Structures are given as C-alpha cells and as structure tokens.
Amino acid sequence: MANSDPIPRDQAPPSDSEETNGADEISEEGEEEEDTEYEEFEEEEEELDPVRERERLKSIFRRLSTDPVHVRVHDVVIKGNTKTKDAIIEAEISDLFKKPRTVQELVAAASIANARLKQLDVFDSVSITLDAGPAELPGTTNVVIEVVEASNPLTGNVGVFSKPEARSWSLEGSLKLKNLFGHADIWDTSGAFGWDQSLEIGTGVWVPRFKSVPTPLSARAFLLSQDWLKFSSYKERLMGLNFGLLSTNNHDLSYNLTWRTLTDPTRMSSPSIRRQLGHNVLSALKYCYKIDRRDSHLRPKSGYAFSSTSQVSGLWDLRGLKFFRQEFDLRAAMPLGFWNAAFNVGLSAGAIFPLGRNFTKLSTSVPDRFFLGGHSSLVCSLGGPSSLLGFQTRGLGPNDMRRVLNLNKDEGSSVQSDCHDFVGGDLAVTAFADVSFDLPLKIFRDAGIHGHAFVCAGNLAKLSEGEIRNFSTERFLKTFRSSAGVGVILPTKFFRVEVNYCHVLKQFENDHGKNGIQFSFSSPL
C-alpha cells in the first residue's frame, strides 16, 4: 500500500526505547505479583513487536529507496548555530531543497547540503534530519539542520613541501581563526621558511559569500622574499595584496597588486639581469579555468585534466609591468590492466608577451618568464610548464654570461664560477609520459607505495627584444631537452615523497642537467 508519508521522528521503533529504558522500571513488593503478571504479558508483546516493527521498517525503507515516494519540503529548521548567521547557512542550502519532489531526491539533496556546510570548515559536525511536516499538511517534511560549531576556532598545521617555483623545499605553517564574525569567515596567517632562506609571510581572510556575491571571496596581504642568486643572480622581494574575486570548482578570478624589488647584493649579475634590477609594480588580473576528471590527483589511473591560466598585467596605468601571459596544461590517464598500472601523459605550454607600442622590441620581466627544471612531480602538479626532472631548478634555457672578475691583473687570473645567469624564456613547452605500477610486496601495496617510470622533455625560447623574428619552430623542436628515469613514490600522512633516479638524455651547453637521484616533497592532499 502506497504511503507517501516519510517516517515521522516521533514514531521511533518502540523496541529501541524499550531496550534503552527497560532497566529503569521499578517494582514494589506489594504489587509484585501483579507487576510480574503484567510484565510477563508485556514481555510477550515485546517479543512479538520488535520483529514486526523491524519488518515494517524494512518494507518502508525498501519502498523509499525504489519507489518514487512523493514529498515536499515544508520548512527548513536550523539549530545549533549560536555564532553563525542563519543567512549564511540558508544561502548555502536554500536552492537544494526547493526542487526535490521525492524522498530519494530529498536524501540526495540532504547529502549535498551536508557536504557544502562541512566545506565551510567552521562546523565540527553537521547533521540533517527529515522530520514529519505539520499534521494538517500531509506529504510534507521539515528539514532539520543541526550544526555544532567548532569548539576551538583556532587551528594550525605544519608541513614540509617542495614547490615548482621554489628552489628547494620549505617548512610551512599556518594558523586559522574560524568564524570570527559569524559569516563563516576564515582568517589565516601563514608562514613558510625555505631551505634556501626564502621567506613568505601572509595573512588573509576568506568568506563563502559576501552580500550579493554568491561565490567565495578572499583577500590576502603577503610578503615574500626569494633568493635566486645561484641561478639568476638576483634576489626577489614581493609585497602586495591578492584578492580572490571569483572562485568556483572550475573558474578562478583574482587580482594581484604587488610591489616587486629585484636586487643583486653579489654584484656578479649578467647585463640582462642587471638591467632588470629595481622596483616594479604588478597590477594583474588572473583567470584560471581548471577541469580535473581524473580519479585521483596523487595517483591518477583514468580520466583527463585541463587547465588554462591567463594573466593580464598593467591595469589602470600604474606605471607597472605590462604583459599578457598564457599557460595551458593537458593531462590524461588510462589504466593498463595489470599491477594496478596506469599510463599518464601530459603536455604544457606557456607564452608571455609584453604589451605596448612596438611590443616585439620590448622586454619582459625576468621573474614573469618561464623557467624549467626542478624536482616537482610530473603527474601531480597541474599549472603550466615548469618541471623537468633531471635538471636543476632553472637549469636550462636562455642564459647570459655573468661578470668576470680579474683577481690579479698582472697574472691574468680570474674568477668565474657558475658563469651563466638563466634568464628564462618567453615561450615554454614541456611534455611527459609516465607509467605507475604497484610494487611486488604486499606491504608496499597496502601502504600505497608504488613505482613509476617516466620520460619528459621541455624547451624554452626567447621571443622578446626582437628575438621573435629569429624564432624557428624547427630549431625549437630540435633543441628540446629530455630525460628519463624510474622512481618510488611514498605517500605519508604529512607529505608525499618521490625518490627518482634520472638520466638526462639530451642537454645543451650551459644546461645544468645531472644524472642521479632526486628527492621531491609535496603536499599529501
């Protein structure tokens, strides 16, 4: 018999309550016999009711999961939020409970609502219950959302990571203060200290929505100091503001206003770098479109991913850097059907062009150009051309000779170690192919430790300062650097470790490619 009413909360199985409250019954001496008889009668009934009730519930659940049981949401009740504004919670879930017409759809919507509220990261727990609607309105249900706000709004974490843009790995820590003003706002302060004495300090705020803007907004102030003396003879200091204007699953739009200073305390830089030293303002709008249909971003075995990042700098004529920068990244993964193996391929490309009159003759800023090299994971990182295993960070591409010092003019001796500065390229292309597989021992498989073999290639070219006229696709393809290798990947709770042996297949004069073992640390998430 069809029954469109959902299970009312007040009609809980009596057997449960009986089971929990049976021990609390008190019997007196005077009424012991009657009580005993009454109890015996009740016990008989209790023995029959649980079975009947269980059967009844089973049939109801069977119906609910298979047949379309029509229901309408009458009201959404929010409980437990003492600090968080009702409007914030309602805004996250309001669109979900208008459409469902059946219990199945309602349960699915409740699942999504649960996930959305947990994503706010300001609640310790979220529970959603479907309660019976008013008696006078049959076929309706009330959705009760009960949240438990974070008991400790202050959280912190520490980790060790290596990033494509950094010279080596860094120790990072952050503190978060959640829900300070009840708008599910998250305030965070973070710091990162690199092995190469790079330093980053930042503080910011993130809100899931602000007034009429339905997407998350963020604002961040940061100070970053980075040392590129060994590779490009300059130190970089950045100070600025970053505003996240639009952030959804696929789209990200942000604005960055940065004061950048390049210095060379060693005074050994090449002429190209020497001319880039000084102060600059970066006023840039950055749009990123990302779609990741891979089954895992740490060890993908099927699916594809694509990202496109566009950056325009030189907004509002702040006398800053003017350029347009574009990156593409395409990945694909397919299972091989044995040893849990998967084949991953990737292709990345990027280009930067100065903006302005006679732009082909203008120069681009060195820090905004593309650099290849380093130890970051080929498979995990999705963000433009950067990694080329087997080569040192910033270890290939256009370079300029550093200053020569004559220690003793008479004897003619001179000092020049690491005599080239890598100045980056305006055009970058990288590609890789990777096969991952389980290791023979079960203990490794259970721990997620797996092996991989890879081959990768990449190249950089200069296009600015008139060099675009000399660019030749044939020569660009002929001068591709490449490397191959094998390695082991160890995922741990704190970070993901890659230990690779790399063999450089092709490199050119002044490149810093080296055969040997490399380590890489990245985020486990």
- Footprint of other proteins (CB under 8 A): 57-58, 61, 64-65, 107, 110-111, 114-115, 118, 125-128, 130, 259, 265-267, 271-272, 274-281, 318-320, 361-363, 400-401, 403-407, 409, 414, 443-444, 446-449, 465-466, 490-493, 497, 499, 517, 519, 524-525
Nearer to other proteins, 36 or 406 (CB): 406
Distance CA(252)–CA(244), nearest Å, equals: 8
Q: Looking at residue 316, what DSSP letter applies? A: G
Minimal distance in Å, beta carbon 233 to other proteins? 12
Nearer to other proteins, 36 or 470 (CB): 470
Structure tokens at 331: 């990945």
Locate the DSSP E strands across 115-168: 123-132, 140-149, 154-162
Nearer to other proteins, 35 or 467 (CB): 467
Q: Which has the closest alpha carbon to 481: 461, 460, 458?
A: 458
Distance CA(213)–CA(191), nearest Å, equals: 29
Distance CA(418)–CA(525), nearest Å, equals: 37
Nearer to other proteins, 133 or 458 (CB): 133
Nearer to other proteins, 336 or 405 (CB): 405
Minimal distance in Å, beta carbon 416 to other proteins? 9
Q: Which has the closest alpha carbon to 341: 310, 312, 299, 369?
A: 299
Structure tokens at 221: 């102030």
Q: Which has the closest alpha carbon to 18: 38, 52, 47?
A: 47
Minimal distance in Å, beta carbon 62 to other proteins? 9
Q: Which has the closest alpha carbon to 228: 418, 458, 500?
A: 418
Structure tokens at 346: 């990737």
Tally of residues, the chain: 525
Minimal distance in Å, beta carbon 449 to other proteins? 6
Minimal distance in Å, beta carbon 494 to other proteins? 8
Distance CA(17)–CA(23), nearest Å, equals: 11
Distance CA(166)–CA(164), nearest Å, equals: 6
Nearer to other proteins, 24 or 509 (CB): 509
| Triad 468, 473, 479: Cα angle to 5° | 105
Nearer to other proteins, 99 or 275 (CB): 275
CB of 174 closer than 8 Å to CB of 187: no
Minimal distance in Å, beta carbon 448 to other proteins? 7
Minimal distance in Å, beta carbon 475 to other proteins? 19
Which of helix, strand or coil describes residue 36?
helix
Q: What phi, psi does 167 have (nearest 5°)? A: -75, -35
- Write the CB contacts of 494 (distance below 8 Å, at least 6 apart in sequence): 159, 160, 524
Minimal distance in Å, beta carbon 466 to other proteins? 7
Minimal distance in Å, beta carbon 488 to other proteins? 9
- CA distances (Å), origin 258, targets 280, 320, 383, 482: 8, 10, 21, 35
Nearer to other proteins, 310 or 510 (CB): 510
Nearer to other proteins, 366 or 484 (CB): 366
CB of 264 closer than 8 Å to CB of 233: yes
Nearer to other proteins, 88 or 423 (CB): 423
First to last CA, the chain: 49
Nearer to other proteins, 292 or 465 (CB): 465
Q: Would you say the C-alpha torsion 269, 271, 273, 274 has a positive or negative sign?
A: positive
Minimal distance in Å, beta carbon 404 to other proteins? 5
Minimal distance in Å, beta carbon 129 to other proteins? 8
Find residue 405's DSSP bridge partners.
Answer: 415
Amino acid found at 240: G
Minimal distance in Å, beta carbon 296 to other proteins? 10
Nearer to other proteins, 327 or 498 (CB): 498
